[in-house]
């Protein structure tokens, strides 16, 4: 495979000559012969000054709360007329009869079989947006972030919390106002087909839409005089992770052309937009949208470097654009999660390119930098020759009293990329199992495309169909646990348009799907002008077991109504199994474990955890089906200060941190973290370019879905060798000592851990050490442990969270201080919870989410960042439930607490109730040291339900900034 070179050429489009590629100074490289399925020079990217798309110019900043409060200020337009015009244009994208030579092609899609898996649960099912039968169809999208769920449909945006409740003072928002649509000279700007997503790398919301006017004017003075109107791809990006605040909006536009059916995607370094291009014609006016023609001119794609948009997302100084006159319905794959730089797209050939038949599926991969002018393309020009069957147009779907007025093209409706798999959904005719008639079915196609330098292979091509009904408008998404969800509409002569869902598990064959499960039942035949585009299914950014959808059903008024559903599979909770600590990662030479070689700054690496077999053992210490682990991450041999982030999947730009450290300090931190669906973990070292570090990970236990021990929050100090609590006198170097844990009491003789406990979560503090070294906690005494719990220099009171198994015979835990002979240290152990065989809480791992960062402003109504301003000696609380995937029913959370900007040494305590004089500590720190500690903390109850309290017991004038990243919860 090869990437196409970049040159200059002119293209005649719809009678007008457009310069669609720029001339670059560098010579085009000599390209190797391309494989049979790859076309070179299928499209050429160029800077903005030489492309058919133009950026509108100055951006607008819009306050969502303000426009929601004051209502729309834009001129109204007839939504029914807009719908009919767009439907007429989109109907022309249907492929005609195949012109492919009579050769043996790929197999047809396979009918799905039943997997026997249970129906998903729907912990959230609340009413979304609705519309009458005379409006545009339910073109519904949904996106979910750490705290909010956003829904778009036609011309409105609504914002709710993660439980589906509306936020105070934020009713439905007008999209014409959000996008600051121009109405200069009295003309109306018409808009439709919004899309919404949450960018996990930048922690920002992105909304896009199609808009147009039928007015004669110049958007920019340099424009030629237009004849019919202007078409716009509008985009709006939130300035923070709080969608109720300020958004910055702008657009790309075309003169006398319409960009229809837009799609949007974000990569690690690029924002990409695509659309199908139609001509404009006479027939419209300032308040009349009928200037849209039905001549399909192919598609267009635009690529912008995120660095060009800047922190405030101002107008890009440069971008690159290309026209694909031989591709229709070009769709950008949404990355789930965002892990690499390439933009992947799928479209339909329109039969104008050599070797491509009308309806052939084409896969395009874009790489490079727009600002550097290096965007290149790899195009697999005919997947339909040997990989997957050609697209086919199904019949209009039936409903009571006739058919749904809608245009089915067979084009990809929903395109996603996850963990090396590009998948898309489309409509396709099939005869469902048990049926005798051809129905409309949902085609779910999976291409294994981990490398852009290799031809994709068929991973699965499956038809979801039900006896006696038509299945249309399918959308798909991968959950964080690897489960592929599909949501679609079913209707028939006796079934009003209703929504259904099915899912495919990673361990099952691509054809094995759960049975169709009804989500929303239609109440009447739909009377509108078109049922609408496929709903968007959104991966939950925090909960690996969940996806979200605002699925439509026909309402009793003959219109439509959507329901916001959270779909959960495998989220019932996980049980714990403690183990003797085992080292699964040590990148140091000469005997590396897991990975060899240093971690270079800003480059994520992935290593196996589930199924890990220690050297010399025949049995895996961690089973292959483990879903999360507890452990201890240690950094050593770092060449610069920085931090490391552990995440389930690789990301070079993490939104949270795990371990912060200066130069020259061996440092450890406790972790409780979800594993990726394949049992791996990833880590990235964030520091200046060219720096590197070694990493060590010791695992102390694992979680399994549906089995294992359960958790009980508690609180109490059971060891303090300074005051003869648990043990008397300091630990002497290299001599292990045991102390009672199961049945242990605190200084007031209150039982903190019952005798049937099997493991504990706790916070270990070292103080008064006479030499640098480390302490290792193990279930049984060991003077030469293979793992460590806390590393420290001399003169630093330091703490680290932990989860450790209890010796089942004695009820003890042991500790050893590894340092030169004669060295001494005092140890303090504060217990935060314990595990038992039954009767407690189950664990729910989450993708790390930042709940608190006191350096920045708090979010509106407590959503977004939870606390602002440095912490001092006055206790403060923050609501954790209903944020970052933590439900209102959670009893405890796991996470990572980081302190920065302290102007004095001291400690911070995290408690479930307000306590100005706590008897336990969570993190200890000196001045001038960014420091983190993994925590397991109970949430408050009654008046403090769902809250955590923070206190910095110090003197007046001292303060510290706090950061809290949440990694899971117990329920």
pLDDT tens digits, 9-49: 122 222 222 222 221 222 222 222 222 222 222 344 443 33
Instruction: Please write the tens of the pLDDT for every residue from 786-805.
Output: 999 999 999 999 999 999 99
Residues 6+ apart with CB under 8 A from 436: none
At 864 the pLDDT is: 75
pLDDT above 90 as % of the chain: 66
Helices (H), 299-438: 306-309
Mean pLDDT of 720-740: 97
Residues 6+ apart with CB under 8 A from 323: 11, 13, 18, 20, 43, 52, 277, 297, 298, 299, 300
* SS3 at position 351: coil
Cβ atoms of 477 and 567 closer than 8 Å: no
Look at residue 4 and tell me whether its pLDDT is greater than 80: no
Residues 6+ apart with CB under 8 A from 130: 555, 559, 560, 561, 562
Look at residue 893 and tell me whether its pLDDT is greater than 50: yes
Instruction: Please write the tens of the pLDDT for every residue from 507-553.
Output: 999 999 999 999 999 999 999 878 877 889 999 999 999 999 999 99
864 alpha-carbon distance from chain centroid: 16
Q: Report the alpha-carbon distance of residue 124 to residue 51 in Å, rounded.
A: 45
In this predicted model, which residue has the larger pLDDT, 234 or 22? 234
Q: Report the alpha-carbon distance of residue 828 to residue 818 in Å, rounded.
A: 16
* SS3 at position 369: coil
Q: Which two tokens stand for residue 316?
A: 């890009």
At 551 the pLDDT is: 96
Q: Show the 3-state SS of 14-67.
A: CCEEEECCCCCCCCCCCCCCCCCCEECCCCCCEEHHHCCCEECCCCEEEEHHHH
Q: What mean pLDDT value characterizes the chain?
A: 87
Mean pLDDT of 554-583: 94
Mean pLDDT of 125-150: 89
Contacts 24+ apart (CB under 8 A), 18-21: 18/52, 18/323, 19/46, 19/50, 19/51, 19/52, 20/44, 20/46, 20/50, 20/51, 20/52, 20/321, 20/322, 20/323, 21/45, 21/46, 21/50, 21/51, 21/322
Mean pLDDT of 195-216: 93
Question: Vertex 43, ends 41 and 46: CA angle to 5°?
Answer: 110
Look at residue 338 and tell me whether its pLDDT is greater than 50: yes
Instruction: Please write the tens of the pLDDT for every residue from 461-470.
Output: 999 999 999 9
- Window from 316-320, 746-750, 829-833, 890-894 with minimum mean pLDDT: 316-320
Instruction: Please write the tens of the pLDDT for every residue from 836-855.
Output: 999 999 999 999 999 999 99
Task: Find tokens 């240290």 and name the residue.
Answer: 825
Q: Which two tokens stand for residue 420?
A: 């090396």
Look at residue 495 and tell me whether its pLDDT is greater than 90: yes
Mean pLDDT of 324-341: 91
Instruction: Please write the tens of the pLDDT for every residue from 756-789.
Output: 999 999 999 999 999 999 999 999 999 999 999 9
Look at residue 217 and tell me whether its pLDDT is greater than 80: yes
Look at residue 248 and tell me whether its pLDDT is greater than 60: yes
At 497 the pLDDT is: 96
**Spatial CA neighbour of 959 closest among 877, 875, 871:** 871
């Amino acid at each position: 495979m090869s990437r196409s070179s970049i040159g200059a050429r002119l293209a005649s489009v719809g009678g007008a000559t457009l310069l669609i590629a720029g001339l670059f100074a560098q010579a085009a490289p000599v390209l190797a012969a391309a494989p049979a399925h790859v076309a070179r020079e299928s499209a050429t990217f160029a800077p903005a000054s030489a492309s058919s798309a133009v950026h509108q110019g100055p951006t607008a900043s819009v306050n969502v709360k303000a426009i929601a409060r004051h209502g729309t200020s834009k001129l109204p337009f007839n939504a029914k007329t807009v719908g009919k015009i767009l439907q007429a244009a989109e109907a022309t994208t249907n492929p005609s009869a195949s012109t492919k030579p009579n050769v043996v092609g790929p197999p047809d899609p396979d009918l799905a079989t039943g997997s026997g898996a249970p129906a998903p649960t729907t912990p959230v099912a609340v009413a979304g947006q609705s519309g009458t039968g005379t409006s545009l169809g339910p073109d519904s999208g949904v996106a979910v972030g750490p705290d909010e769920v956003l829904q778009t449909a036609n011309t409105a945006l609504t914002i709710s919390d993660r439980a589906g409740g509306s936020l105070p003072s934020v009713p439905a928002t007008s999209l014409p106002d959000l996008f600051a649509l121009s109405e200069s000279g009295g003309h109306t700007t018409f808009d439709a087909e919004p899309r919404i997503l949450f960018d996990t790398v930048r922690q920002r919301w992105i909304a896009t839409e199609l808009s147009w006017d039928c007015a004669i004017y110049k958007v920019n003075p340099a424009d030629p005089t237009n004849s019919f109107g202007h078409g716009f791809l509008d985009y709006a990006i939130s300035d923070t992770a709080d969608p109720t605040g300020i958004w910055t909006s702008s657009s790309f536009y075309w003169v006398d052309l319409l960009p229809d059916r837009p799609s949007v995607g974000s990569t690690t370094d690029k924002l990409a937009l695509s659309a199908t291009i139609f001509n404009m014609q006479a027939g419209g006016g300032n308040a009349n949208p009928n200037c849209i023609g039905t001549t399909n001119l192919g598609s267009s794609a635009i690529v912008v470097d995120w660095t060009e948009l800047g922190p405030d997302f101002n107008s890009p100084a440069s971008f690159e654009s290309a026209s694909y006159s031989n591709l229709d319905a070009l769709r950008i794959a949404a990355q789930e999660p965002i892990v690499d730089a390439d933009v992947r797209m799928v479209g339909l050939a329109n039969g104008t390119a050599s070797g491509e038949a009308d309806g052939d599926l084409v896969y395009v991969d874009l790489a490079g930098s727009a600002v550097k002018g290096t965007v290149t393309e790899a195009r697999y020009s005919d997947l339909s020759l040997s990989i997957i069957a050609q697209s086919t147009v199904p019949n209009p779907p039936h409903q009571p009293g006739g058919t749904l007025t809608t245009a089915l093209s067979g084009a990809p409706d929903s395109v996603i990329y996850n963990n090396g798999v590009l998948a898309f959904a489309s409509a396709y005719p099939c005869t469902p199992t048990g049926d005798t008639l051809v129905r409309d079915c949902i085609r779910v196609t999976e291409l294994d495309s981990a490398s852009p330098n290799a031809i994709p292979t068929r991973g699965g091509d499956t038809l979801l169909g039900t006896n006696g009904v038509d299945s249309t408008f399918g959308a798909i998404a991968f959950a964080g646990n690897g489960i592929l969800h599909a949501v679609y509409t079913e209707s028939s002569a006796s079934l009003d348009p209703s929504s259904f869902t099915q899912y495919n598990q990673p361990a099952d064959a691509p054809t094995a799907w759960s049975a169709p499960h009804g989500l929303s039942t239609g109440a009447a035949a739909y009377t509108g002008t078109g049922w609408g585009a496929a709903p968007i299914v959104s991966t939950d950014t925090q909960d690996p077991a969940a996806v979200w959808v605002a699925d439509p059903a026909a309402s009793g008024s003959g219109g439509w109504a959507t329901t916001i559903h959270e779909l959960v599979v495998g989220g019932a909770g996980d049980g714990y199994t403690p183990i003797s600590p085992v080292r699964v990662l040590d990148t140091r030479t000469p005997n590396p474990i897991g990975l060899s070689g240093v971690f270079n700054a800003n480059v994520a690496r992935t290593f196996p955890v589930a199924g890990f077999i220690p050297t010399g053992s025949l049995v895996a210490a961690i089973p292959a089906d483990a879903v999360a682990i507890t452990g201890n991450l240690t950094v050593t041999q770092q060449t610069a200060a920085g931090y490391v982030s552990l995440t389930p999947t690789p990301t070079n730009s993490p939104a949270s941190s795990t371990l912060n450290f200066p130069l020259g300090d061996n440092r450890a931190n406790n972790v409780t973290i979800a594993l990726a669906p394949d049992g791996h973990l990833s880590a990235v070292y964030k520091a200046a370019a060219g720096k590197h570090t070694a990493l060590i990970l010791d695992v102390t236990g694992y979680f399994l879905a549906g089995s294992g021990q359960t958790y009980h929050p508690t609180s109490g100090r059971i060891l303090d060798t300074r005051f003869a609590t648990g043990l008397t006198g300091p630990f002497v170097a290299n001599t292990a000592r045991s102390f009672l844990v199961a049945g242990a009491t605190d200084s007031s003789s209150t039982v903190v851990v019952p005798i049937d406990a099997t493991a504990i979560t706790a916070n270990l503090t070292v103080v008064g050490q006479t030499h640098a070294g480390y302490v290792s906690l193990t279930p049984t005494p060991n003077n030469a442990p293979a793992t460590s719990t806390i590393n420290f220099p001399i003169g630093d009171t330091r703490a680290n969270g932990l989860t450790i198994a209890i010796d089942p015979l004695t009820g003890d835990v042991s500790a050893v201080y590894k340092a030169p002979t004669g060295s001494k240290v005092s140890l303090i152990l504060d217990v935060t919870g314990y595990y038992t065989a039954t009767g407690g809480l189950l664990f729910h791992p989450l993708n790390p989410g930042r709940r608190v960062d006191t350096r920045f402003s708090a979010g509106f109504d407590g959503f977004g960042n939870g606390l602002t301003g440095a912490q001092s000696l006055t206790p403060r609380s923050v609501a954790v439930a209903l944020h970052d995937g933590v439900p209102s029913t959670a009893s405890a959370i796991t996470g990572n607490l980081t302190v920065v900007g302290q102007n004095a040494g001291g400690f911070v305590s995290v408690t479930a109730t307000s306590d100005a004089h706590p008897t336990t500590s969570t993190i200890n720190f000196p001045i001038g040291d960014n420091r983190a500690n993994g925590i397991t903390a109970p949430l408050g109850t009654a008046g403090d339900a769902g809250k955590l309290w923070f206190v910095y017991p110090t003197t007046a004038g001292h303060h510290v900034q706090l950061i809290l990243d949440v990694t899971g919860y117990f329920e």
